[in-house]
Structure 1
């Protein structure tokens, strides 16, 4: 896994980064120190190729410098457009993207990052979807499936396998019920649950999944829709009430992971350094 490099770092990795930036037109003194000039060069490169221009050399920026494929990666223009849609400073969008994103939205095999939730599968199987559905019969079916395949259908959360193995769990679930299975996984860099598809304006969960599989831009669009369709969450973001935003998005344990502090610091950094005012390439 590539080490993320940022302002203040000093290492051999920074030296290599500086040399790679110079190959792409920068004029840095390769000293291994990630100072103002290196940060500016990173941001200039990101803007040039259209990546998120935050001045941080993460896996995506370093992969691009090495000639890797950036076709599915989040673009700087996606954040600019989101700031306009949400009517918030661009620095706020940079902050929520940095803190709330889990990093890459795709696994090395090209499939979207997911986490299958067996307790949601149980709930979705027992959900009344059509007129005439028998709630008792649906629950009995869910209970029977939970008894025979508790790793996939269960009243309790857990059973996670991680990485590509989550797609194996999902594939098994889809053999039981395709719609319920897709609704029971969280998708992409922002881990949006499939059962939100209707609220977010998709015609079906299958259409939602197709979008999440297309690229990080589509995953980020779902995240923006998630904020747009929650007036309280949107209001917290517009008011830069980071503790309230973090509590609503991350849940009551947000303080344990310092999400509100991270959001505040990220916003201030992006606002102060000017990268929150960056324009799309």
Structure 2
């Protein structure tokens, strides 16, 4: 499904405008995603409880087609967490736009994951040191000192399933989960009773995935301080690692925040 946002033109935008009009907007259907269309998207998102980011992605388009998914991130969750973290909602809108992978679930209903074989090797080396290398020799695509072996999408779940047969807890801890790709080995720091309980929560909804993200932020004082101060370079460095500048994460976050803050002030 095509992501539609400000500045785009074409038949997909015309169809979006027609759907928004059926939902109560009064747009001139010209195929141009301008200010009026963005405002109409935000209004529709607020009315339906979705995150009002002004971007007509798969979630908004599905809702317009009467295929809304109850597992999607709700604005009430985001605004409640913004209050809890003592940050502006616009700051979390920016992070949700830039840092998340767009959706926390795959088309088949399973959560978005990425299995990390080098983390599996590390976890096994810590808990079963005598078996880590023999198992790595037998299953190099699942246990390996080097990163790699990714297949993406639904196939990552098969990799995880195979790894769980070798060691359930280590496999779950070696997987990043949901829209914000929180690693399973953080389960204890984030306050979950077990890594299995963490994984179950990530399979439940994007609200639960965002809750894990919020716990990740609030249990790191430096990260929380950077977010509260809207110091985007510091936040991106702590969250994304040293490659943040090459990927312009700080620039993207700053631009997204400004756009969302302006829209919130105009609402």
Establish whether TM, by shorter chain, passes 0.5: yes
Residue 22 of structure 1: how far off its partner (Å):
1.0
Structure 2 Cα separation of the partners of residues 78 and 198 of structure 1: 22
Partner of residue 209, structure 1: 199
Q: CA deviation at 1:156?
A: 0.9
Instruction: Name the residue aligned to 1:198.
Output: 188
Map residues 210-229 of structure 1 onto 2, 5 A cutoff: 210-229=200-219
User: 255, 258, 263: which one pairs with 1:265?
Assistant: 255
Deviation at 1:10, TM superposition (A): 1.7
Post-superposition CA distance 1:51-110 (Å, at most 9, x none): 001111111101110111321111111110111011011111111111110111111110
Displacement after TM superposition at 1:124 (Å): 0.9
Structure 2 residue 94 is matched with structure 1 residue 95: yes
Worse-superposed segment, 174-183 or 28-37: 28-37
Gaps of 5+ in 1: 129-137
1:152 pairs with 2:151: no
User: For residues 236-264 of structure 1, what are the alpha-carbon distances to aligned partners after superposition, in whole Å with 9 as ceiling and x for unaligned?
Assistant: 10111100100100000011110000000
Q: Distance in 2 between matches of 1:158 and 1:235?
A: 33
**TM-score of the pair, normalised by structure 2:** 0.97
Partner deviation per Cα, 1:97-138 (whole Å, 9 max, x = no partner): 11110111111110001100111111111224xxxxxxxxx3
Aligned residue in 2 for 1:32:
31
Query: How far apart in 2 are the matches of 1:108 and 1:165?
Result: 13
Runs of 4+ displaced beyond 6 Å: none
Distance in 2, matches of 1:122 and 1:34, equals 48
User: What is residue 245 of structure 2 aligned with on the other side?
Assistant: 255
Question: What does residue 76 of structure 1 align with?
Answer: 75
In the TM superposition, what is the alpha-carbon distance from 1:4 to its structure 2 partner?
A: 1.4
Q: Return the alpha-carbon distance in structure 1 between the equivalents of residues 262 and 61 of structure 2.
A: 24
Kindly report which structure 2 residues correspond to 1:104-183, keeping only aligned pairs within 5 A, or say none: 104-128=103-127, 138-183=128-173
Task: Tell whether the 8 Å contact from 2:59 to 2:68 is kept in structure 1 after alignment.
Answer: no
Greater RCO (Cα-Cα under 8 Å, separation 6 or more): 1
Alpha-carbon distance in 2 for matches of 1:41, 1:54: 11
In 2: Cα distance, 1:54 partner to 1:103 partner: 12
- Map 1:35-50 onto structure 2 (within 5 A): 35-50=34-49
Distance in 2, matches of 1:244 and 1:187, equals 23
CA distance in 1, matches of 2:149, 2:32: 43
* C-alpha distance in structure 2 between counterparts of 1:152 and 1:35, whole Å: 47
**SS of structure 2 residue aligned to 1:45:** helix
Aligned counterparts of 1:6 and 1:188: Cα–Cα separation in 2: 23
Residue of structure 1 aligned with 2:178, choices 181, 188, 211: 188
Secondary structure at 1:186 match in 2: strand
Counterpart CA distance in 2 for 1:253 and 1:243 is: 11
Gaps of 5+ in 2: none
Give the Cα–Cα distance (whole angstroms) in 1 for the partners of residues 182 and 13 of structure 2: 34
Partners of 2:97 and 2:62 lie apart in 1 by 18
Map Cα deviations across residues 123-169 of structure 1 (whole Å, 9 max, x no partner): 111224xxxxxxxxx32200110011111111111111111111111
